[in-house]
A = this chain, B = another copy of it.
Amino acid sequence: MDVGQVKMNSPLQPIAFQGEAGAYSERAAKEFYREEVIVTIPCRTFGETFAAVHDDKVLAAVVPIENSLAGSVHQNYDLLLKHELHITGEIFLRISHQLMVLPGTNWEQVRRVYSHPQALEQCREFLEKWPALEIVPAYDTAGSAKLLVEHQWRDAAAIASEWAAEKYGLNILHRAIESNQKNYTRFLVLEKGEKTPVKNGKTSIVFSVPHTPGSLFKTLAIFALRDINLLRIESRPLHGSPWEYVFYLDFEGTPQLEPGAKALEHLGEIATFRRVLGTYEKGRVIE
Chain A residues with CB under 8 Å of chain B are 67-71, 74, 180, 182-184, 213-214, 216-217, 220-221, 223-224, 227, 229-230, 233-237, 239-243
Instruction: Give the number of copies in the complex.
Output: 2
Task: Give Cα distance in the complex from A66 to B220, angstroms.
Answer: 24
A71 in contact with B70 (CB, 8 Å):
no
A-B contact pairs, 11 of them (CB 8 A): A67-B237, A68-B243, A69-B239, A71-B236, A184-B242, A184-B243, A214-B227, A216-B233, A217-B217, A217-B223, A220-B220
Task: Give Cα distance in the complex from A216 to B230, angstroms.
Answer: 9
A240 in contact with B180 (CB, 8 Å):
yes
A239 in contact with B67 (CB, 8 Å):
no
Chain B nearest CB from A181 CB (Å) reads 10
B230 in contact with A233 (CB, 8 Å):
no
Task: Give Cα distance in the complex from A243 to B234, angstroms.
Answer: 13
A68 in contact with B242 (CB, 8 Å):
yes
Q: Which residue in B230, B235, B239 is a CB contact (below 8 Å) of A180?
A: B239
Q: Which residue in B74, B213, B230, B237 is a CB contact (below 8 Å) of A230?
A: B213
Task: Give Cα distance in the complex from A102 to B74, angstroms.
Answer: 35
Which residue of the partner chain B has the closest CB to A66? B237
Which residue of the partner chain B has the closest CB to A186? B243
Given contacts A182-B241, A214-B224, 13 further A-B contacts (CB under 8 A): A67-B237, A68-B242, A68-B243, A69-B237, A71-B236, A180-B239, A180-B240, A182-B242, A184-B242, A213-B227, A214-B227, A216-B230, A217-B220
Which residue of the partner chain B has the closest CB to A238? B68
A235 in contact with B237 (CB, 8 Å):
no
Task: Give Cα distance in the complex from A235 to B232, angstroms.
Answer: 9
A234 in contact with B235 (CB, 8 Å):
yes
Task: Give Cα distance in the complex from A229 to B215, angstroms.
Answer: 10
